[in-house]
Chain A
């Protein structure tokens, strides 16, 4: 394993561990509702995921909205609305994208 990849993995892994584990020990629920840190933390997750979705589809929409992308997105929305399942919606979107890709 190349040293730069190992160092990167260890740095990110250590922070990820800290992000997941340490807050289980601290009672952040005592944080004032509507405070600066509370609002920043609350916005970080949605902002990060919205950014990642945008960044991942942006290369696909250059020059128009392809049918597989539209169909895959619609499948995610429909299955999530019906089941509230992240895993189910993800798999449905992937299958719809693949099927439409094969058909056109």
Chain B
């Protein structure tokens, strides 16, 4: 156990792998946003205000498909509901004496990756502190916003002469989803995952992609309500 108080600089250092990963994904978002006819200000605004990669990419799909505002908002809010679980899990790991006075500020940066990195640091003996969480969150946020700025500035046609790079960046989002799924995968959640996948495929093929996403999330979450013993018995 490292008894030295964790500092802002420690947090920034711990954020480095996230910074390296976020920048190209945010760059891809900036390029995709301007390619979807959003202005650079709108692209950067989404990153500054929403700050949730998967939700932002879906925002582009919903905007370009002409989905109604409330349907879009509900879909995106439902997508981000998973973040509810991160705060309690992190604070439980931090211990009962952990300060949370400024969590209204640093916890906005509690993305999937920041949450994972914070838990990893605590598991390796790092002492929880709010300055450390500031550093971790600010480093990741700065990378995300600056990557979007550069991508939006480069513009939607920036990669037209680099089709392989464009294809690779286009696969970054599915790759991120798969990696996130692997990071939280547990035997107990397999039924919910299977139901979500089946519902998404079925409703997408029968109706539309937006409906498929809604159906997958709701059906999967509802499948989680089935008591474990019932699932085991089947």
Least CB separation from A102: chain B residue: B164
Which residues of B from 139 to 184 have beta carbons under 8 Å from A?
163-165, 167-184
Mark interface residues in A16-33 (1 if CB within 8 Å of B CB, else 0).
110111111111110000
- Does the CB pair B167–A16 fall under 8 Å? no
> How far, in angstroms, from A6 to B91 measured CA to CA in the complex?
32
Prevailing SS type, chain B contact patch: helix
Q: Which residue of B lies closest to A44 (CB)?
A: B221
Whether the Cβ atoms of A99 and B82 lie closer than 8 Å is: no
Question: Residue on A with the closest CB to B219?
Answer: A47
Complex CA distance for A41 and B199, rounded to whole angstroms: 19
- Given A51-B197, A58-B201, A24–B100 Cβ distance below 8 Å? yes
B10 beta carbon closer than 8 Å to chain A? no
Q: Are A43 and B225 in contact (CB under 8 A)?
A: yes
Q: Judge if B121 is at the interface, Cβ distance under 8 Å.
A: no
| B: interface residue count bin | 35 or more
Let me know if A45 and B42 touch, CB within 8 A.
no
With A24-B91, A76-B179 already in contact, the answer to whether A68 and B167 are too (CB < 8 A) is yes
For A102, what are the chain B residues with a Cβ–Cβ distance below 8 Å?
A: 163-164, 167
A55 to B17, CA, bound (A): 27
Chain B residue contacts of A6, Cβ below 8 A: 45
B167 x A97 contact (CB < 8 A) = yes
Check B216–A87 contact: CB distance below 8 A. Answer: no
Give 18 A-B pairs besides A11-B77, A24-B100 with Cβ atoms closer than 8 angstroms: A16-B50, A19-B80, A23-B87, A24-B88, A25-B100, A27-B91, A39-B225, A40-B221, A43-B223, A47-B192, A48-B217, A56-B173, A60-B174, A86-B176, A90-B25, A90-B172, A93-B179, A94-B168
